[in-house]
Amino acid sequence: MAAHLPPSNPAPIRLSELTRWLQQTIEGVFGQQSFWIIADVTNYTYKPQSNYHYFELVEKDKSSSKILAKIAGRAWGNASINISNFEKATGQKFRNDINVLIQVSVQYNPSFGLQLNLIDIDTNFTLGQFEQQRKATLERLVRENPDFIQKQGEEYLTRNGSLKLNNVIQRIAVLSSETSAGYLDFKHTLDHNAFNYRFEIDNYFTLVQGEVNARQVLTKLIEVFQSGKPYDVLVIIRGGGAQMDFLIFDNYDLSRAIARFPIPVITGIGHQKNETIADLMAHTATKTPTKVAEFIIAHNRNFEESILNLQKMMLIKTYQLINLQKDRLVQLNNNIIHTSRNSIHRNQHGLMNLSATILTNPKIIISNRKKDLSNLSSNLQSYSKMYFVNKEAYLGHFISIMKLMSPQNILNKGFAIIKVNNKIVSNADGIEKGTELTVQFADTQINTTVNDKTKHNGSEFNL
């Protein structure tokens, strides 16, 4: 309908009259129209008794965060149903600080002012935002960290994923919220396992929801590393929640730290639909905290069963070997008995002859052996005397040579010993003019200094 403009007469009017004109004007321009707008939600409240949603819609400058526009909004009736459907489809609660694409109509009420009535909300827009952010983060991780993150096909290969799990997982670091129901499920499953396994668990409690808390989780991750404890695994767990609650595990810095962490990381973040980036960077990803505990128990059970199977195989092989050797021993025993009997029979005649010889000729044998011993004794006596006489002559010869070659005997023959610094020298290579010498004769020692040094060929000593 056409708007009624206020009169040009500047006479005072009542406020209600002015607001009525505003209402008529706004309805005349916007009454039959709706608009799809992109905005952030703030100051959100929900009244469950009336099923009314109240909020403000704002637009901010991306570079300065300055508010460019702000207006009140509300939703009820079919719009409330559309909000509920949006939450189910996206896993995202309609709350403060989310960016949405919504269909609105413009309404002005003299009592409540200008408002936007929410008609519908686009789920694909919000899901697309999540996916775009996730895709950009994954691409950045691969691009900036080629040393420990690579992509092959649709799979991400990380340094953490390449680590080998210990045969038995027993020492566990747990990063979780202290009040998380998922943590309690994890502990209960481990503590009441059917195989009576025992675990050493250290808790590193922190908030594990909300993207703003990613720095706290990263700090706890560093704390685990700096503890220096030989953990078998690091477990990151939390209970279920809305899609936005899991954005903390799509954080770039946290995902990067998990990818290069030197201890195998097992995640059980409690989501049933999509994997987080932290799951893709970790060694092993499971859906829930309970699944993490079941994975650890199954891993230990597999190792125990391999040991038990090995034990069974060893027992079987041992029994087989014993039976085989038993058969061989029986066969060997039969062979020995048979061979012994044959040998006895073959040598019985020879033994009887030898026995007769020993019985009839013992005196001859003993007499011959006695003569042999007497001859040997005589030979030893004569040979020993000759041996010692010869050795005595050799010793006398060597003593004469030693006396002849003794230094004192050589000095008595007119030779002298030359010493430099109390050390005997045999040539003049190291002796120069001015060198102090000691000349040792047979009965005299002379200390002198070299005045001259002349080479000669020793011809004057030729015989």
Q: What is the pLDDT of residues 164-207, one digit of tens each?
A: 999 999 999 999 888 888 899 999 999 999 999 999 999 998 87
Residue 421: left (phi > 0), alpha (psi -120 to 50), or beta?
Answer: left
Residue 95 lies in a domain: yes
- Contact present, 297 and 190 (Cβ < 8 Å): yes
Last residue of a domain, one of 302, 317, 351: 302
Last residue of a domain, one of 88, 121, 154: 121
Same domain, yes or no: 156 and 107? no
In terms of Cα–Cα distance, which of 296, 252, 256, 250 is closest to 269? Answer: 250
Residue 367 lies in a domain: no
Same domain, yes or no: 296 and 421? no
Residue 285 structure tokens = 């990803």
Same domain, yes or no: 117 and 148? no
Same domain, yes or no: 158 and 295? yes
Residue 203 lies in a domain: yes
Same domain, yes or no: 97 and 157? no
| Lowest mean per-residue pLDDT among 38-42, 160-164, 242-246 | 242-246
Apex 282 CA angle, 277 and 287, nearest 5: 75
Same domain, yes or no: 243 and 280? yes
Same domain, yes or no: 249 and 286? yes
- Maximum CA extent, the chain: 173
Last residue of a domain, one of 235, 269, 302: 302
pTM here is 0.54
Higher pLDDT, 239 or 140: 140
In terms of Cα–Cα distance, which of 85, 88, 108 is closest to 31? Answer: 108
Same domain, yes or no: 114 and 148? no
Please identify which residue in the block is written with the tokens 């403009």.
5
The CA distance from 113 to 115, in Å, is 6
Apex 358 CA angle, 354 and 363, nearest 5: 155
Name the band, by pLDDT with cuts 50, 70 and 90, for residue 351: low
The pLDDT tens digits for 232-249 are: 999 999 876 555 567 788
Same domain, yes or no: 165 and 242? yes
Residue 34 lies in a domain: yes
Which pLDDT value is given to residue 463? 40
The CA distance from 281 to 142, in Å, is 11
Apex 429 CA angle, 424 and 433, nearest 5: 95
Name the band, by pLDDT with cuts 50, 70 and 90, for residue 359: low
Q: Is 365 a residue whose pLDDT tops 90?
A: no
Residue 204 lies in a domain: yes
Same domain, yes or no: 165 and 281? yes
The pLDDT tens digits for 417-443 are: 888 888 888 777 778 888 888 988 888
| Lowest mean per-residue pLDDT among 113-122, 220-229, 260-269, 324-333 | 324-333
Q: Is 52 a residue whose pLDDT tops 80?
A: yes
- CATH number of the domain at 196, please: 3.40.50.261
Residue 342 lies in a domain: no
Residue 350 lies in a domain: no
What is the count of structural domains for the chain? 3
The pLDDT tens digits for 275-315 are: 889 999 999 999 889 999 999 999 999 999 999 999 999 99
Mean confidence (pLDDT) of the chain: 84
**Three-state SS across the chain?**
CCCCCCCCCCCCCCHHHHHHHHHHHHHHHHCCCCEEEEEEEEEEEEECCCCEEEEEEEEECCCCCCEEEEEEEEECCHHHHHHHHHHHHHCCCCCCCCEEEEEEEEEEECCCEEEEEEEEECHHHHHHHHHHHHHHHHHHHHHHCCCCEEEECCEEEECCCCCCCCCCCCEEEEEECCCCHHHHHHHHHHHCCCCCCCCEEEEEECCCCCHHHHHHHHHHHHHHHHCCCCCCEEEEECCCCCHHHHHHHHCHHHHHHHHCCCCCEEEECCCCCCCCHHHHHCCEEECCHHHHHHHHHHHHHHHHHHHHHHHHHHHHHHHHHHHHHHHHHHHHHHHHHHHHHHHHHHHHHHHHHHHHHHHHCHHHHHHHHHHHHHHHHHHHHHHHHHHHHHHHHHHHHHHHHHHHCCHHHHHHCCCCEEEECCEECCCCCCCCCCCEEEEECCCCEEEEECCCCCCCCCHHHCC
Same domain, yes or no: 40 and 172? no
The CA distance from 45 to 127, in Å, is 23
- CATH number of the domain at 33, please: 2.40.50.140
Quick one: what percent of the chain has pLDDT higher than 70?
90
Residue 415 lies in a domain: yes
Residue 36 structure tokens = 């799809």
Same domain, yes or no: 210 and 112? no
The CA distance from 74 to 56, in Å, is 8
Domain that holds residue 434: 409-453
